[in-house]
Amino acid sequence: MTWNGYSLARYGRYARTVAVLALLIAVAAWQCEVSLSDLVRGIVKGLSMLSLFLPPDWSAFSEMVRPALVTVVICLIATPMGAALSIVFGLAGARNVAPAWLRMISRSLIAAERGLPEIVILLILVAAFGLGPFAGIMALAIGSVGMLGKLVGDAVEEIDARILDSAAAVGATRLQVIRHVILPEILPSMVSNSIFRFEVNIRASVLLGAVGAGGIGFELNAAINQLEYSRATVAALTSLALVFLSERVSDYLRERILTGELA
């Protein structure tokens, strides 16, 4: 049986997969309340609202500089804090450094953290510390541990056992092994990963800011809630520039580290 050169024998065996996929899509679309008429209406409405967003109200830009800096500073504090924490958790989660029970605890904490989006952590912290940059800093620092802690743990476990044995053979204590063998070994990749995490944190902190952690995300959300759309455009463009710059800087620094220029 063929149709336009497509034979049933060749494509028929995909029928079940296609049917399952179609069913999943149908259920998902129903759950997401997908509606084409909403989409069309949304596009029309969006186009008509474009005149509200444009032109950007550039006079607001001077008010955006400080929030943007606050976002950067939040990440500047949170990333090293997270990196330091993740060294502790990473070492505790490495088979060749920590006892099995400690490794279990540390690894499951790290995994649990990775399962939670930063915003959820922020919501808990906001309940404790109230709105403000401090909750944002803590949320990003804790959020960094999920990624960096796992990377540190894996990197430590990959260290050649003979190096650790030789240090122990000359009488180094566990702390001395960590200080003089393990740390120098993982430091370059650690720095490079932390810089990458900084970039991720900048993106995340725009979102966290909108919940109330301050910074450029807060300005953006506030402008939209107050219907000052041309001001919101400036905030959006500022955050875009921030992310772009952090990406460029992070790429540049990591390349330098990778090639060993900045060791």
Judged by the rule CB under 8 A, the positions of this chain that interact with another protein are 24-25, 27-29, 31-35, 38-39, 41-43, 45-46, 49, 69-70, 73-74, 76-77, 80, 112, 115-120, 123-124, 126-129, 132-134, 137-138, 203, 206-207, 210-211, 214, 217, 220-221, 224, 232, 236, 239-241, 243-244, 247
- Residue pair 85/145 in contact (Cβ under 8 Å)? The answer is yes
Would you say 12 or 165 has its CB closer to another protein? Answer: 12
Residue with tokens 């149908």: 26
Q: Which of 80, 49, 31, 69 is nearest to 194 (CA)?
A: 80
SS3 206: helix
Would you say 73 or 183 has its CB closer to another protein? Answer: 73
- Residue pair 149/89 in contact (Cβ under 8 Å)? The answer is yes
Minimum Å gap between C-beta 244 and another protein is 4
Minimum Å gap between C-beta 163 and another protein is 22
Minimum Å gap between C-beta 192 and another protein is 18
Would you say 133 or 153 has its CB closer to another protein? Answer: 133
Residues 9, 31: Cα–Cα separation, whole Å: 35
Minimum Å gap between C-beta 160 and another protein is 26
Q: For 109-117, which contacts have Cβ atoms below 8 Å and span 24 or more sequence positions?
A: 110/145, 110/146, 110/149, 110/150, 110/153, 111/146, 111/150, 113/142, 113/143, 113/145, 113/146, 113/149, 114/146, 114/147, 114/150, 116/146
Minimum Å gap between C-beta 157 and another protein is 21
The Cβ of residue 64 has, within 10 Å, a number of other Cβ atoms equal to 22
Would you say 28 or 258 has its CB closer to another protein? Answer: 28
CA 165 to the chain's CA centroid: 36
Residues 219, 64: Cα–Cα separation, whole Å: 8
Would you say 97 or 238 has its CB closer to another protein? Answer: 238
Minimum Å gap between C-beta 161 and another protein is 29
Would you say 48 or 99 has its CB closer to another protein? Answer: 48
